[in-house]
Amino acid sequence: MASEPKTPPIETPISQSPDRPAQRDEPSQEVLSAGSTEDPTRRDLLSVALNTGVVLSLGASYGTLAGHAVDYLVPTHSEAKAWLYVAPCRGITLGSQVKYTAPSGAAIAVARVAAEDSAASFIALSSTCPHMGCQVLWEGSKSRFFCPCHNGVFNERGEGTDGPPKGQSLSRYPIRVENGLLFVEVPLTALPRERGHSAQACRQPVPLRRKAAQEAQGAAQPAEGLHATPAGGRSGDESA
Protein backbone atom coordinates (compact mmCIF):
# COMPACT_ATOMS: atom_id res chain seq x y z
CA MET A 1 0.00 0.00 0.00
CA ALA A 2 1.58 3.20 -1.13
CA SER A 3 -0.92 5.53 0.43
CA GLU A 4 0.51 8.39 2.48
CA PRO A 5 -0.02 7.84 6.24
CA LYS A 6 -2.40 10.40 7.59
CA THR A 7 -0.81 11.96 10.63
CA PRO A 8 -2.37 14.79 12.57
CA PRO A 9 -0.39 18.04 12.68
CA ILE A 10 2.25 18.00 15.43
CA GLU A 11 1.20 20.01 18.45
CA THR A 12 4.05 22.22 19.53
CA PRO A 13 4.43 23.39 23.12
CA ILE A 14 2.91 26.75 23.92
CA SER A 15 6.28 28.45 24.31
CA GLN A 16 7.34 27.30 20.88
CA SER A 17 4.17 28.34 19.07
CA PRO A 18 4.81 31.47 17.02
CA ASP A 19 1.63 33.23 18.04
CA ARG A 20 1.24 32.18 21.69
CA PRO A 21 4.11 34.09 23.37
CA ALA A 22 2.57 37.41 22.43
CA GLN A 23 -0.66 36.38 24.13
CA ARG A 24 1.17 35.24 27.22
CA ASP A 25 3.57 38.14 27.58
CA GLU A 26 1.18 40.97 26.90
CA PRO A 27 -1.53 41.20 29.52
CA SER A 28 -4.95 42.07 28.20
CA GLN A 29 -6.28 45.59 28.45
CA GLU A 30 -8.95 44.41 30.87
CA VAL A 31 -6.42 43.09 33.37
CA LEU A 32 -4.36 46.25 33.12
CA SER A 33 -7.31 48.49 33.78
CA ALA A 34 -8.45 46.42 36.73
CA GLY A 35 -5.03 46.51 38.32
CA SER A 36 -4.32 50.12 37.57
CA THR A 37 -7.06 51.63 39.73
CA GLU A 38 -5.80 52.97 43.04
CA ASP A 39 -8.78 51.97 45.17
CA PRO A 40 -9.47 48.25 45.36
CA THR A 41 -12.66 47.33 43.60
CA ARG A 42 -15.24 45.02 45.04
CA ARG A 43 -13.98 42.34 42.66
CA ASP A 44 -10.44 42.76 44.04
CA LEU A 45 -11.66 42.41 47.61
CA LEU A 46 -13.74 39.37 46.76
CA SER A 47 -10.79 37.86 44.94
CA VAL A 48 -8.46 38.42 47.93
CA ALA A 49 -11.08 37.01 50.32
CA LEU A 50 -11.65 34.00 48.12
CA ASN A 51 -7.93 33.28 47.69
CA THR A 52 -7.32 33.69 51.42
CA GLY A 53 -10.21 31.35 52.16
CA VAL A 54 -8.90 28.74 49.77
CA VAL A 55 -5.37 28.96 51.22
CA LEU A 56 -6.65 28.76 54.81
CA SER A 57 -8.96 25.85 54.01
CA LEU A 58 -6.19 23.95 52.29
CA GLY A 59 -3.82 24.72 55.18
CA ALA A 60 -6.37 23.58 57.75
CA SER A 61 -7.24 20.35 55.95
CA TYR A 62 -3.69 19.35 55.07
CA GLY A 63 -2.53 20.54 58.51
CA THR A 64 -5.07 18.23 60.15
CA LEU A 65 -3.81 15.40 57.98
CA ALA A 66 -0.21 16.19 58.98
CA GLY A 67 -1.28 16.27 62.65
CA HIS A 68 -2.80 12.80 62.32
CA ALA A 69 0.43 11.62 60.65
CA VAL A 70 2.46 12.92 63.62
CA ASP A 71 0.03 11.21 66.06
CA TYR A 72 0.49 8.03 64.07
CA LEU A 73 4.29 8.23 64.20
CA VAL A 74 4.66 9.20 67.86
CA PRO A 75 3.45 6.20 69.85
CA THR A 76 1.10 6.90 72.73
CA HIS A 77 0.98 3.43 74.21
CA SER A 78 3.42 2.70 76.97
CA GLU A 79 5.25 -0.55 77.51
CA ALA A 80 3.85 -3.19 79.85
CA LYS A 81 4.91 -2.58 83.46
CA ALA A 82 4.25 -4.17 86.82
CA TRP A 83 4.99 -3.52 90.50
CA LEU A 84 7.48 -6.14 91.59
CA TYR A 85 8.90 -6.93 94.99
CA VAL A 86 12.57 -6.14 95.55
CA ALA A 87 13.49 -6.69 99.20
CA PRO A 88 12.38 -5.88 102.74
CA CYS A 89 13.14 -2.25 103.58
CA ARG A 90 15.32 -3.24 106.49
CA GLY A 91 17.48 -5.24 104.08
CA ILE A 92 18.85 -2.06 102.56
CA THR A 93 20.89 0.05 104.92
CA LEU A 94 21.59 3.75 104.62
CA GLY A 95 24.37 4.41 102.13
CA SER A 96 24.19 0.96 100.56
CA GLN A 97 22.46 -0.19 97.41
CA VAL A 98 21.22 -3.43 95.98
CA LYS A 99 21.31 -4.44 92.38
CA TYR A 100 17.97 -5.67 91.14
CA THR A 101 17.47 -7.42 87.82
CA ALA A 102 13.98 -6.92 86.44
CA PRO A 103 12.21 -9.70 84.48
CA SER A 104 13.03 -7.73 81.33
CA GLY A 105 16.68 -8.02 82.26
CA ALA A 106 17.07 -4.32 83.07
CA ALA A 107 19.67 -3.72 85.78
CA ILE A 108 18.35 -1.41 88.51
CA ALA A 109 20.26 0.05 91.44
CA VAL A 110 18.07 0.46 94.52
CA ALA A 111 19.55 2.61 97.28
CA ARG A 112 18.41 4.00 100.61
CA VAL A 113 18.86 7.75 100.95
CA ALA A 114 17.06 8.33 104.28
CA ALA A 115 16.47 6.40 107.49
CA GLU A 116 12.63 6.16 107.40
CA ASP A 117 10.92 3.17 105.82
CA SER A 118 8.94 5.19 103.29
CA ALA A 119 9.06 5.35 99.49
CA ALA A 120 10.81 8.72 99.67
CA SER A 121 13.69 7.09 101.53
CA PHE A 122 14.59 4.90 98.58
CA ILE A 123 15.63 5.51 95.04
CA ALA A 124 15.62 3.05 92.13
CA LEU A 125 17.85 4.07 89.26
CA SER A 126 18.61 2.59 85.91
CA SER A 127 22.28 1.67 85.77
CA THR A 128 22.50 2.73 82.13
CA CYS A 129 24.34 6.01 81.65
CA PRO A 130 22.23 8.48 79.63
CA HIS A 131 25.33 9.78 77.88
CA MET A 132 26.53 6.82 75.86
CA GLY A 133 24.64 3.92 77.35
CA CYS A 134 27.44 2.36 79.43
CA GLN A 135 26.66 0.68 82.76
CA VAL A 136 27.41 2.84 85.81
CA LEU A 137 28.92 1.59 89.09
CA TRP A 138 27.88 2.56 92.63
CA GLU A 139 30.77 3.84 94.74
CA GLY A 140 29.47 3.70 98.29
CA SER A 141 32.52 5.36 99.85
CA LYS A 142 31.94 8.47 97.72
CA SER A 143 28.14 8.18 97.59
CA ARG A 144 28.13 8.45 93.84
CA PHE A 145 27.53 6.52 90.65
CA PHE A 146 30.51 6.46 88.35
CA CYS A 147 30.55 5.74 84.63
CA PRO A 148 33.92 4.22 83.70
CA CYS A 149 33.56 4.88 79.95
CA HIS A 150 33.84 8.66 79.97
CA ASN A 151 34.31 9.47 83.66
CA GLY A 152 30.72 10.50 84.19
CA VAL A 153 29.69 11.12 87.80
CA PHE A 154 26.17 11.03 89.24
CA ASN A 155 25.18 11.84 92.80
CA GLU A 156 23.17 9.45 94.95
CA ARG A 157 19.95 10.74 93.41
CA GLY A 158 21.22 9.91 89.92
CA GLU A 159 21.79 13.53 88.86
CA GLY A 160 24.83 14.06 86.62
CA THR A 161 27.36 16.21 88.49
CA ASP A 162 30.54 15.85 86.46
CA GLY A 163 31.84 14.64 83.12
CA PRO A 164 29.87 14.54 79.87
CA PRO A 165 26.54 13.50 81.46
CA LYS A 166 26.47 16.62 83.64
CA GLY A 167 22.94 17.98 83.50
CA GLN A 168 21.43 14.61 82.61
CA SER A 169 20.08 12.08 85.07
CA LEU A 170 19.91 8.33 85.40
CA SER A 171 16.37 7.15 84.67
CA ARG A 172 14.30 6.54 87.78
CA TYR A 173 11.85 3.78 88.51
CA PRO A 174 8.81 4.43 90.73
CA ILE A 175 9.02 2.93 94.22
CA ARG A 176 6.33 1.82 96.67
CA VAL A 177 6.64 0.61 100.26
CA GLU A 178 3.94 -1.65 101.71
CA ASN A 179 4.14 -3.37 105.09
CA GLY A 180 7.87 -2.80 105.24
CA LEU A 181 8.40 -4.30 101.80
CA LEU A 182 9.88 -2.48 98.86
CA PHE A 183 8.30 -2.65 95.41
CA VAL A 184 9.48 -1.12 92.15
CA GLU A 185 7.55 -0.59 88.93
CA VAL A 186 9.53 -2.12 86.06
CA PRO A 187 8.98 -2.98 82.38
CA LEU A 188 8.17 -6.58 81.59
CA THR A 189 9.02 -6.79 77.92
CA ALA A 190 12.54 -7.61 76.83
CA LEU A 191 14.34 -7.42 73.52
CA PRO A 192 15.86 -10.66 72.28
CA ARG A 193 19.48 -11.35 73.08
CA GLU A 194 21.78 -13.98 71.72
CA ARG A 195 21.98 -15.70 75.07
CA GLY A 196 18.22 -15.36 75.46
CA HIS A 197 17.72 -15.78 79.18
CA SER A 198 15.95 -12.47 79.65
CA ALA A 199 13.28 -13.39 77.14
CA GLN A 200 12.44 -16.45 79.20
CA ALA A 201 12.28 -14.48 82.38
CA CYS A 202 9.89 -11.92 81.00
CA ARG A 203 7.39 -14.53 79.95
CA GLN A 204 6.53 -15.26 83.56
CA PRO A 205 5.95 -12.19 85.65
CA VAL A 206 5.61 -13.98 88.96
CA PRO A 207 2.72 -13.18 91.32
CA LEU A 208 5.15 -11.66 93.71
CA ARG A 209 2.98 -10.01 96.28
CA ARG A 210 1.85 -13.34 97.66
CA LYS A 211 5.42 -14.51 97.95
CA ALA A 212 6.46 -11.24 99.47
CA ALA A 213 3.72 -11.49 102.09
CA GLN A 214 4.84 -15.00 102.97
CA GLU A 215 8.36 -13.73 103.21
CA ALA A 216 7.40 -10.85 105.50
CA GLN A 217 5.88 -13.36 107.89
CA GLY A 218 8.86 -15.63 107.93
CA ALA A 219 12.09 -15.70 106.13
CA ALA A 220 13.67 -12.48 104.93
CA GLN A 221 15.16 -14.05 101.81
CA PRO A 222 14.25 -12.49 98.44
CA ALA A 223 11.61 -14.44 96.56
CA GLU A 224 12.80 -17.06 94.12
CA GLY A 225 13.28 -15.71 90.63
CA LEU A 226 13.55 -12.10 91.68
CA HIS A 227 17.32 -11.92 91.42
CA ALA A 228 17.50 -9.19 94.05
CA THR A 229 21.11 -9.24 95.10
CA PRO A 230 23.19 -6.83 97.12
CA ALA A 231 25.78 -5.31 94.85
CA GLY A 232 28.96 -7.18 95.52
CA GLY A 233 27.39 -8.81 98.56
CA ARG A 234 26.22 -7.28 101.80
CA SER A 235 29.54 -7.98 103.43
CA GLY A 236 31.35 -6.37 100.60
CA ASP A 237 32.34 -3.45 98.88
CA GLU A 238 29.67 -0.89 98.38
CA SER A 239 28.39 -0.19 101.86
CA ALA A 240 29.30 3.16 103.20
Partner 1 sequence: MSRRSEFFRERIPVRDETLRELTNEPVPNHMKRWWFALGGTPAYLFLVMIGTGILLASYYQPGPTTAYQSVRFITEEVAFGWYIRSLHKWSATFMVAGIILHQLRVFFTGAYRRPRELNWMIGMGLLLSTLIGGFTGYSLVYEQLSFWGATVASNVADAIPFLGGFLKKTLLAGDSYNPHTLSRLFVIHAALMPACMVALLFLHIAMVRLHGVSELHFPDDTGAKRYFPFVPDHLFSEIIMGLVLMIVLSTLALVLPASMGPMADPLTTPEVIKPEWYFYVAFRWLKLFPATVAVLSMGCIVFLFLFWPFVDGWIRRRRPGSELSVGIGIVAVLCILGLTVWEALVAH
Q: Residue numbers of the site for partner 1 (CB under 8 A)?
A: 5, 7-8, 10-13, 16, 73-75, 78-79, 105-107, 128, 130-135, 149-150, 160, 163-168, 189-195, 198
Question: Rounded to the nearest 5°, which phi and psi values hold at 125?
Answer: -120, 145
Pairing status of strand 152-155 against strand 97-101: unpaired
- Shortest separation between residue 80's beta carbon and partner 1, angstroms: 11
Distance CA 144, CA 157 (A): 8
Nearer to partner 1, 26 or 71 (CB): 71
Minimum CB–partner distance for residue 194 and partner 1 (Å): 4
Residue 142 Cα to chain centre, angstroms: 31
Q: Which is nearer to partner 1, 11 or 38 (CB)?
A: 11
For 115, 143, 168, 181, 197, the CA distances from 164, given in Å and listed in that order, are 32, 19, 9, 36, 33
Question: Is 97 buried (19+), middle (13-18) or exposed (0-12) by CB count in 10 A?
Answer: buried
In the complex, the smallest distance separating the C-beta of residue 134 from partner 1, rounded to whole angstroms, is 5
Smallest gap from Cβ 11 to partner 1, in A, equals 6
Rank residues 42 and 195 by Cβ distance to partner 1 and give the closer one: 195
If the CB atoms of residues 13 and 218 are measured against partner 1, the closer one turns out to be 13
